[in-house]
A and B are shown apart, each in its own frame.
Chain A
Amino acid sequence: MNRLSSPDELEGIRKSIIKHRDPNKPCVTICGGTGCHAYGCERVAAIFKQEVEKQGLETKVDVRATGCHGFCERGPLVVIRPESIFYQRVSVEDVPEIISETVLKGNIIDRLLYTDPNTGKKIIYEPEVPFYRKQKRLVFGNNGYIDPAIIDDYLAVGGYAALSKVLFRMLPEEVIEEVKKSRLRGRGGGGFPTGIKWEACRRAKGDTKYIICNADEGDPGAYMDRSLIEGNPHSVLEGMIIGAYAIGGHQGYIYVRHEYPLAVKNVEIAIKQAEEYGLLGNNILGSGFDFSVRINRGGGAFVCGESSALMASLEGKPGEPREKYIHTVERGLWDKPTNLNNVETWANVPLIINQGADWFAEIGTPKSKGTKIFSLVGKVNNTGLVEVPMGITLREVVYDIGGGIPGDKGFKAVQTGGPSGGVIPESLLDLPVDFDELTKAGSMMGSGGMIVMDEDNCMVDIAKYFISFLEGESCGKCVPCREGLKRMREILTDITEGRGKEGDIELLELLSAALIDGSLCALGTTAPNPVLTTIHYFRDEYEAHIKDKKCPAGVCKELITYQIIEEKCPGCRLCVKACPVGAITFMGKKKPVILDQEKCIKCGICYDVCKLGAIKVE
């Protein structure tokens, strides 16, 4: 491949790629995201390729392993295009039938269709699945169409057109103006206006300026940046090159955690291909603009998602934050002006350039524009990655897209913004999701984690979980965060183990205030959110633990007992066999079993195995 040396050459090659692709040719796309990997999508994709070869259909059918489609709950996902026939939970055994029936004859295989649990109706086409219907997949949309390892796939959907536009038809200042006008805000957590950051970095003194993509996503249960950079790495690269041009930087870094091997691999491939095509490196598209990108792998510390800690780590130092009274746009990596944006922020840039700031600013709420990708997990029927317009309500996300709470359980709360976000109760379910509304509710957008909790979750236990996580991830540099989180965890452990005392809630609040006002970085200043929001919205649960020594949700082991409901127990012995410590005694057929409270370790196995609901938690 010769390096492309003009916009015309880029358009030429794009035309030729499209010309050689028949839009009506069936294409089997197999989701290759993290969730589907766990379900064995790799083998499914391999068998599809094998089967197509075996039947000699290479010229008639395309098979494409794509990036993440988002609906992780139902993987492995297979979508047959162009009709977008949606098959879920596809196994290797289904492959020959899909090819012979659906691909060749157009017959739908009923058992592989998704059934809407609310209506019982089977759904054939991907866009009609409720999980996708309310989504607005602008950033994520191409994931289901392209093979991340093939640059031509990205070019076929219009890739690098935005880059060509800015290099040849826009001045750097105009690019910044456009991004400012779009009112794009940073997707990594802070929500800082991207255009203003770029402008500050462009104006900063110094000839050498660095561009960084923060792919150090570390929230438990959040994987949107991973799926985006794995599934569509060129969109992130294109955003970075545009940013570099606007700011005046010639060297970029992608800081990605080592635990994301597929992301590293796909980005490596993407960089190499972009270089071969003349879209990265010296004299990009013949414009005279130079920009290279390197990958740096992080060791997986949560705190390295904080920009100054990330830069320290990139420099080879321990990943510890520093005070940012002098902003990183002025003095960042190696003390040079540095512009850092998150994966999703960079991926939004080509969209804004292609479709215009006005188009982008139409989407969302007055102060939060565009879409946001959330990882919807926890006690919700449809777990997965969802991209929604800003301003959608939590209720729509949890019930319409997420399909509500599994079983007959009641919704209790949703934790947004990762471990240092806050929990939002049922009374605020109609809250529009945007940066400011979530902050007002005591939580935050964060990078976009959304964990749904039902009536079986204890809010004190949840707060303890998140505080323990943050305690383990605190770098230990500043006193409030290092010592304060340890003490908060101690107090919360005491409360959940029946040692809570009068004044504990107030002490937690005092500590929280000191962390918010006194910590060095955002890990510490936001860490109290899970504690403060659970106290604010679920104070009665704290009081039940402290005063009555009871856990209303039946979670905290020291505060609960399992009991046999005698009238319901027929002595079937299921629980007797399952109990790991022999605490349950069989008393004869049709007689209730007896549970020895002294021996019981409260593991809950009896409760889980009992089919008759004859065991209760008190």
Chain B
Amino acid sequence: MVTLSIDGREVQAEEGAMILEVARAHNIYIPALCYHEEVAPYGACRLCMVEIVTNGKERLVASCLYPVEEGLRVKTNTEKVNNVRRIVAELLLARCPDSEVIQELASKLGIDKPSFRLEEGNRKCILCALCTRVCQEVVGVSAISLVNRGVDRQMTTPFNDFSEACIGCGSCAYVCPTGAISMEDVGDTRIIDMPQVKMEFKLRKCNKCGKYWAPERQLEYIAKIAGLAPEIFDVCPDCRQ
């Protein structure tokens, strides 16, 4: 265990833990859009920047990626920190003016209208890569990824086409912080709608209750990796109990 201070408060934390998780565990608010406890920290949104002092010098670090150390002094609410957060929020708001999550975040930081030209087309994706990381690290299929570089960067499937690797589990939609990916089950079909591609998946019908309950592809995938007989999923979990 190490002892550090966050905004003057002394807290104890496991060695190797990141500042952000320690702060959150102690109910200290640090905004972040690309952070999720289920995947490795990534450091892309830069909203979680905090100020620390090392070798007598103040500097900003991404709290999601900075491991705590003995005697570390962290400030989450300084002028420099807030300047970065405000500009990042403004940049994101100009990119995604229709996203309610971003509007709310910006408004919390005192921004109603960004100083930059607004993007059109109801864009909501902020390229936090939570979806692609969950798809790779948690689901293990890497059906989506980031393509192109810099301002041309997009999150999508190979060639913006139906991804043969995708199992239709919808983890991407679940984890997306801005609602850029949506998922809806209509009758026997699941529709996953991403900014660049829309995919449809056939759902399996429960032999007992007749409810459509999960995508065929997802069930086949689970059966395969868990070494189960595929028939086990002929009945939905509710009827199985």
Identify the A interface with B (CB < 8 A).
301, 318, 322-323, 325-326, 471-480, 482-487, 490, 507, 510-511, 513-514, 517-520
- List B residues 43-80 near A (Cβ within 8 Å): 43-46, 49, 60-62, 65-67, 80
Measured CB to CB, the nearest residue on chain A to B67 is: A325
**Interface segment, B20-28, B82-90, B177-185, B213-221?**
B82-90
Could you show 9 A-B contacts with beta carbons less than 8 Å apart?
A323-B43, A476-B127, A478-B43, A478-B44, A482-B150, A487-B116, A517-B60, A518-B46, A518-B60
**Interface segment, B91-99, B165-173, B202-210?**
B91-99
Q: Is the CB of B60 within 8 A of A301?
A: no
Pick from B46, B67, B83: contact of A326, CB below 8 A: B67
Does B241 interact with chain A (Cβ within 8 Å)? no
By a CB distance below 8 angstroms, the chain A residues around B149 are 301, 473-476
Q: Is the CB of B46 within 8 A of A479?
A: yes
By a CB distance below 8 angstroms, the chain B residues around A487 are 91, 94, 116
Q: Is the CB of B80 within 8 A of A517?
A: yes
Known: A325-B65, A471-B150. A477 touches B115 (CB 8 A): no
A487 to B46 alpha-carbon distance, docked (Å) = 17
Chain B proximity of A366: nearest CB distance (Å): 21
Q: Is the CB of B62 within 8 A of A520?
A: yes
Q: Is the CB of B87 within 8 A of A482?
A: no
Knowing that A471-B150, A482-B150 touch, tell me 5 more A-B residue pairs with CB under 8 angstroms: A477-B129, A478-B45, A479-B46, A518-B88, A520-B46
Q: Is the CB of B91 within 8 A of A480?
A: yes
Tell me how many residues of B have a C-beta within 8 Å of chain A: 34
Q: Is the CB of B83 within 8 A of A484?
A: no
Known: A476-B152, A518-B49. A484 touches B44 (CB 8 A): no
A477 to B129 alpha-carbon distance, docked (Å) = 9
Measured CB to CB, the nearest residue on chain A to B92 is: A479
- List B residues 89-119 near A (Cβ within 8 Å): 91-92, 94-95, 115-117
Chain A proximity of B234: nearest CB distance (Å): 40
Count chain B CB atoms within 10 A of each CB in A477, A484, A507, A519 and give the residue with the most: A477
Pick from A476, A478, A486: contact of B148, CB below 8 A: A476
A326 to B16 alpha-carbon distance, docked (Å) = 11
Q: Is the CB of B46 within 8 A of A483?
A: no
Q: Is the CB of A479 within 8 A of B150?
A: no
By a CB distance below 8 angstroms, the chain B residues around A480 are 46, 84, 87-88, 91
Does B225 interact with chain A (Cβ within 8 Å)? no
By a CB distance below 8 angstroms, the chain B residues around A476 are 127, 146, 148-153
By a CB distance below 8 angstroms, the chain B residues around A511 are 87
Does B126 interact with chain A (Cβ within 8 Å)? yes
Chain A proximity of B201: nearest CB distance (Å): 28
Q: Is the CB of B87 within 8 A of A518?
A: yes
Known: A474-B149, A474-B150. A479 touches B80 (CB 8 A): no
Chain A proximity of B176: nearest CB distance (Å): 16
B125-138 to A contact mask, C-beta < 8 Å, 1/0: 01101000000000
Count chain A CB atoms within 10 A of each CB in B44, B152, B153 and give the residue with the most: B44
By a CB distance below 8 angstroms, the chain A residues around B95 are 483
By a CB distance below 8 angstroms, the chain B residues around A514 are 83-84, 87-88
By a CB distance below 8 angstroms, the chain B residues around A517 are 49, 60, 80, 83-84
By a CB distance below 8 angstroms, the chain A residues around B116 are 487, 490
